[in-house]
Structure 1
């Protein structure tokens, strides 16, 4: 199975980044921790912009990202997060050519 990756950049409204993180923890963190298809997941704050969150995930095939959006809690997560964002999120789908420690 081929590995896929997804880069996501969220720009929160000024001073709302921590609230966005709490919503992510409320809905997504436990799911991601237990998702077999999620091989790696990084969720972090941009050091150069106090309102930006970056998430990067590596998963087996196309299903990993699609499974996330099919969860019963996803519409609530999306609605609550969108209310705190300053602009639409950026999504970039990536086909890894090499991943340290694995066969891509």
Structure 2
């Protein structure tokens, strides 16, 4: 299997970025930490836009990414976070070809 990565950009409603972060920390941080399919994850605030969040996610495979989207944790996150977002995220799928080990 080949590694699989995503870059996701979320645009929040004005002034709701911290609320979105709290929802992410409640549902996603523990789920991602416990998920062996996630091999790397960076949750980042956009320095140039106070209403944007970017996430870089690396998975063991595309199948691991698809499986995570079917979890109860992800469903609970979506239910709570969607009213705080201005619309669906911008998602870019990637195939990692090189990375620096920590």
TM-score scaled to structure 2, two decimals? 0.91
Report the counterpart of residue 15 of structure 1 in structure 2. Answer: 15
Deviation (angstroms), 1:37: 1.4
Report the counterpart of residue 84 of structure 2 in structure 1. Answer: 84
- Written as runs of structure 1 = structure 2, the 5 A alignment for 1:1-104 is 1-101=1-101
Let me know the Cα RMSD of the aligned residues: 1.5
Q: Any gaps of 5 or more consecutive residues in structure 2?
A: none
Quick one: distance in 2 between partners of 1:23 and 1:61? 26
Deviation (angstroms), 1:64: 2.6
Moved more, 87-96 or 61-70: 61-70
2:31–2:73 CA contact under 8 A, matched in 1: no
Deviation (angstroms), 1:63: 2.3
Deviation (angstroms), 1:30: 0.6
Quick one: distance in 2 between partners of 1:91 and 1:48? 19
**Count of residues paired in the alignment:** 102
